[in-house]
Amino acid sequence: MKKVSANGKSSKTKNFEYDGTHRLVNKKTGRLASSSTWLIDLAACAVHLGDTQGLAGLLPQEKAQKLLNSNVLKPFKRHKNRLHGKGLEVSKRELRDLASRAFPYIAAFYISKVIPNKPPETVNRKGFRAWLITALFDPDSSLNKNLSKHKEFQALAQLKRSDDWWQDRLKTESKSKRLLR
């Protein structure tokens, strides 16, 4: 957005042009303003540029003007999404479903490779989850290598989640049974 002067020419105000990367920051503390939202930040930029007509006129400029008394507009760093390998872009819901579907495969791997001499009945869930979390944390673990080989489960390789997250994924009871208790 550029400031339009009375003669109709456009100019930048103090080398500032809104590009979506400025936020209201408290002058004293240097922290993000408590009442800062994307709409207020946009209105503050419009006030700063003197843009009061058109679409910018619909923004809450009065509130932004009040906030600019104790705050200043500063650029902020945009965080990029974590890069995944090609084909591994999954949502949180898809990841939860994938972990639930992979449970039998991971359990079979655990029984055959990690504790081959123990009967499966003696394995407890807590120990299994502890092994799972540490195995996924280690990039060189045999579990991570094995998950990477299977196209369906590649998104689970090196997945860092808490014990509670895995506990929710590995529940074997149906929800209807839990509701009857």
According to the 3-state scheme, what is the secondary structure of the chain? CCEECCCCCEECECCECCCCCEEEEECCCCCECCCCCHHHHHHHHHHHHCCCCHHHHHCCHHHHHHHHHHEEEEECCCCCCCCCCCCCCCCHHHHHHHHHHHHHHHHHHHHHHHCCCCCHHHCCHHHHHHHHHHHHHCCCCHHHHHHHHCHHHHHHCCCCCCHHHHHHHCCCCCHHHHHHC
pLDDT band at 90 (very low <50, low <70, confident <90, very high): low
Question: Domain check: are 7 and 70 in the same one?
Answer: yes
Could you identify the residue written with the tokens 């895995």? 166
Considering its fold, how many domains does the chain have in total? 2
pLDDT band at 173 (very low <50, low <70, confident <90, very high): very low
Q: Does residue 11 surpass a pLDDT of 50?
A: no
For 54-85, b/e burial (b = at least 16 CB within 10 A) is eebeebbbeebeebbeebbbeeeeeeeeeeee
Any domain includes 139:
yes
**Residue 181 located in a structural domain:** no
Task: Evaluate the CA torsion angle 60, 66, 67, 72 in order and state its sign.
Answer: positive
16-70 pLDDT, tens digit per residue, is 565 667 888 888 888 888 888 888 888 888 888 888 788 877 788 888 888 888 8
Residues 101 and 126 placed together within one structural domain of the fold = yes
Establish if 84 belongs to a structural domain: no
In whole angstroms, what is the distance from residue 180 CA to residue 19 CA? Answer: 55
150 Cβ contact partners less than 8 Å away, ≥ 6 residues apart: 105
**Is 164 domain-assigned?**
yes
Establish if 83 belongs to a structural domain: no
Residues 130-147 pLDDT 10s: 888 888 888 888 888 888
pLDDT on residue 21:
76
Where in the sequence is the domain holding 114, given as residue range(s)? 92-172
In a domain? residue 87: no
**Sequence-distant (≥ 6) Cβ neighbours of residue 50 within 8 angstroms:** 3, 13
Q: Six-digit token pair at 83? A: 């890069």
Whether 14 and 64 map to the same domain: the answer is: yes
pLDDT exceeds cutoff 80 at 120: no
Instruction: Please say whether the beta carbons of 136 and 102 come within 8 A.
Output: no
Q: Are residues 55 and 104 in the same domain?
A: no
